[in-house]
Structure 1
Amino acid sequence: MSAQFPAARPRRLRRTPALRRMVAETRLAPADLVLPMFVKEGIGEPQPISSMPGVFQHTRDSLRKAAHEAAEAGVGGIILFGIPAVKDGDGSAADDPAGIVQLAVRDLRSDLGDAAVVMTDLCLDEYTDHGHCGVLTGAGEIDNDATLERYASIAVAQAAAGSAVLGPSGMMDGQVGAIREALDGAGYPDVAIMAYSVKYASAYYGPFREAAECAPQFGDRSTHQQDPANTEEALREVFLDLDEGADMVMVKPAGAYLDIVRRVRDAVDVPVVAYQVSGEYAMIEAAAERGWVDRERTIMESLLSIRRAGADIVLTYWATEVARRLAR
C-alpha cells in the first residue's frame, strides 16, 4: 500500500449510529440510575425548585405519581429526602415513625413492590433548625458521637418503614458502624448501607440547599466534608466505611471528581455509586435554556462520563427522562 494512505482506519467503526452502538465500550441502562426525590410535609401541591427546573418538592400524592413514572421507565431506584413541617435542634422529625420520609417510604413500598429500590438519605440537616448534619454542642460545634446516636435511631425508623437501602450522608466518623450495629440489633440485618464515603465540601450543592431547605444557619460543613484538594483521604474514608459494614460506597459530587470515581472503582470490589448533584444539573439546564449547549446530548455525555469513570450506579435528577430516552 502506498505510504501516503493509512493502513489503520479506526473511522470504519464510527460510520453509522448502529455500528457505533455495537462497539460502544461504555453503556448506560435505566437500571443504573437512581432518582433523588424531595417530599415535603404540609404542602397541598408540588412546589417547583427555582434553581432546579423540572424538580419539585413533592406532596405524598405527587411523589407516588412521579415515583410510579420512574419505575415504569425502568429507573433502578428512588432515594428520598424529607422536609418536615417543624424543625428543631435535634432533628426529632427524622426518626418519628409518623415523619414525612417514613410515611413516604410506606407509600412507595406499597405502590412499587420490587419495581424499583426504595432508598432513603440518612442525615439531620433537612430536619434541624440550624441546618447542620448533627447535634450541636453548647459551643455550636457538631458533637460527632451524640450525632451517631441520632443516626442509629433514624436508621431503625427508616428500616422499620421499609427502606431497602440507607444512605448515611453526614460524614460523621464511625457513622456506618453505628448504623450497622443498630440495624442488626433491631432485627434488620438485610437492610443495605450505601455509604456517602467520599463527600467533598463542594460549591456544587447550592441548589440542593434550596430544594431540601437545609442551608446552614451559620458556618459551613467543611469540618466534616472532605477537602476538594485531597485524594488519599478519600480512599481512607472508603476503606473505613467498608470495614464498618458498608455494602456500597459513593463519590459526591460526580462530574468534577471523575478521577476519584476511577480511583475508588480500582480499589474496591463493591458497587461504586456517584451522585450527579444539584449544581451539575442546574448548570446544564441553565446553559441549555440559553442555547449554549445541546441539552439532550450534554445530559447523556455527562452521564456516560460518570459510568466510564467506573460508577456502577448514578444518582441523577434526570433519571426518569434518561430512562425513557434509553428505551426508545
Structure 2
Amino acid sequence: MFSHGAFPDVRPRRLRTTAAMRRMTAEHRVHPADLVLPAFVREGIAEPAPISSMPGVVQHTLDSLRRAAAEAADAGVAGIMLFGVPEVKDAVGTAATDPGGILQVALRAVREEVGDALVVMSDLCLDETTDHGHCGLLDERGRVDNDATLARYAEMAVVQAEAGAHVLGPSGMMDGQIGHVRRALDAAGHEDVALLAYTAKYTSAFYGPFREAVESGLTGDRMTYQQDPANGREALRELSQDLAEGADMVMVKPGLPYLDVLRRVADAVAVPVAAYQISGEYAMVEAAAEKGWIERERAIDETLVCFKRAGADVILTYWAVEAARRAAAR
C-alpha cells in the first residue's frame, strides 16, 4: 500500500495513456485473416430468409450466398463455412451424399464465385439432413450408431471434396471420425483436402438459434456423443485422438463459455486452433445491444480478442465481415 502523497516506481498506466500507445502495446489483436464466416444456404427459396433468433443472419439462396462469399473475400476474411438446409430430410440424411444436394451445389457455386480467394469449408454432419435431427444414424432402439455413422461420413467427405471444399469439418463427435474420413479422402485422391476436427464440441444450451437456422427436427438430446460441459480433461483425450488420426486443425465449440478449454488445447498442440463463436453467443450480444444494455461494437470486438488471448488462431463468427472491416480500418 502507498500512503497518500507517495509515488510508485512502477506505473503500468504509462502504457495506457493514448489510443496510439494502447495499440502499440496490445498483446493480441484480431486480423481479418483470423476470421471465418459461417453461412447457411437453404434449398427451394427465392429470397434470403431472415433467422428470427439471429438478427442480421439469413438462410441464403444460391445467388445471395455467392454475393456473401464475394463480400467476405473483399473484406479480407479468411474463409467461409457452409451449412446446407435441404427441402427433404429423411432418416439417413440422403441429401448429404447426393451430388445434387444443396450443400454440394452451394460448395460448387462458392468455388465458382471466389475460387481460392477464400478457404471454402464444409460442415460434415448429418444433423441438417436427417428428419430426427441427430448427427448420426439411429439404431433400432433410437440410439446414435457410431460405426454406421462413420460409413456415412466417409461418403459425405468424398462428395464434399469433389464439390470443391478445401476443408471439411466433421462435427458429429463420433469416435474415430477423423481417421475414417481421412482414409476415405485419401483413397479417393483427395489428399490435399484438410480436416478441421471439432475436437471439443460440448452439449450446450447455446445452440438454439442454430437449430432454427438449419430447421432442425431434433428429438431428444445429444448428451451421449457431445461432451459434458463439466469436463475439461476429457477435451485433451479427444484432442490426442484427433491428432493421432490426422487432424490438420482442431476446434473448441462453443467459444466464450469454454475459453479455459481453448487455452488448454492451444497450449498442447502445434497445429492451428479454432474457436466457434456460436449462434447463442451471437444472439445474446445482439439482443442485449438491441435493448441498449451494452455497446454493440465494443462487445463484439471484445469477445473476438478474448478468443485470440485464449489461444485461437482461427475464429468462426457470424460477425466475420463486419469485424474484418472494422479491424482493417484501425
Fold-level match, TM-score > 0.5?
Answer: yes
d(CA) in 1 for partners of 2:215, 2:238 = 27
Note the 1:249-264 alignment, pairs <5 A. 249-264=250-265
**Aligned equivalent of 2:197:** 195
1:221 and 1:189 mapped to 2: Cα distance? 31
Cα deviation, 1:40-88, whole Å, max 9, x if unaligned, reads 0000000000000000000000000111111100000000000001111
Q: Which amino acid is 1:202 matched to?
A: S
Compute the displacement of 1:120 (Å): 0.2
**Deviations for 1:153-212, whole angstroms, at most 9, x for unmatched residues?**
000000000100000000001111110000000000110000001000000101000001
Tell me which residue corresponds to 2:299: 298
Instruction: Check the 8 A contact 2:131/2:217 in 1, yes or no.
Output: no
The equivalent position to 1:60 in structure 2, one of 59, 62, 71, is: 62
Partners of 2:133 and 2:259 in 1: CA distance: 28
Aligned residue in 2 for 1:284: 285
Displacement of 1:92 in angstroms is: 0.6
Contact 2:173 2:225 in 1 (8 A): yes
2:242 corresponds to: 241
1:12 maps to amino acid:
R
Q: Is the 8 A contact 2:165 2:193 kept in 1?
A: yes
Kept in 1, the 8 Å contact 2:272–2:314? The answer is yes
Q: Which residue matches 1:326? A: 327
Segments ≥4 residues shifted beyond 2 Å: none
Q: 1:232-277: per-residue Cα shift (whole Å, max 9, x none)?
A: 1100001101101100000000100000000000111100100000
Residue 72 of structure 2: which of 70, 73, 78 is its match?
70
Asked if 1:99 is matched to 2:123, the reply is no
Tell me how large the CA RMSD over aligned residues is: 1.0
Q: Which residue of 2 aligns with 1:108?
A: 110
**For the residues of structure 2 that align with 1:7 and 1:246, how far apart are their CA atoms?**
49
- Secondary structure of residue in 2 paired with 1:57: strand
Unpaired runs of 5+ residues, structure 2, are: none
Q: Is 1:225 the equivalent of 2:226?
A: yes
Q: What secondary structure does 2:286 align onto? A: helix
Shift of 1:13: 1.0
- Give runs of aligned pairs for residues 1-328 of structure 1, distance below 5 A: 4-216=6-218, 218-328=219-329
Q: Aligned partners of 1:313 and 1:302: how far apart in 2? A: 13
Q: Is the 8 A contact 2:54 2:209 kept in 1?
A: yes
TM-score normalised by L of structure 2:
0.98
Measure the CA separation in 1 of the matches of 2:230 and 2:132. Answer: 27
- Output the TM-score relative to the length of structure 1: 0.98
CA distance in 2, matches of 1:28, 1:319: 11
Structure 1 residue 215: deviation in Å? 4.1
Distance 1:63 1:32 in 2: 21
Q: Matched residues in 2 for 1:205 and 1:52: separation?
A: 11
CA contact (8 A) 2:42 2:61 kept: yes
1:326 deviates by 1.1
User: What is the identity percentage for the equivalent residue pairs of Structure 1 and Structure 2?
Assistant: 68
Cα distance in 2 for residues equivalent to 1:88 and 1:202: 25
**Secondary structure of residue in 1 paired with 2:123:** strand
Amino acid across the alignment from 1:201: T
Measured in 2, the distance between the counterparts of 1:214 and 1:238 equals 28
- SS of corresponding position for 1:213: coil
Distance 1:285 1:267 in 2: 33
Q: What is the alpha-carbon distance in structure 2 between the residues aligned to residue 180 and residue 233 of structure 1? A: 23
Contact 2:203-2:227 within 8 A present in 1 as well: yes
Deviation at 1:114, TM superposition (A): 1.9
The alignment partner of 2:180 has SS state of: helix
* 2-structure distance, mates of 1:117, 1:95: 22
Greater mean alpha carbon deviation, residues 105-114 or residues 204-213 = 105-114
CA distance in 2, matches of 1:215, 1:42: 18
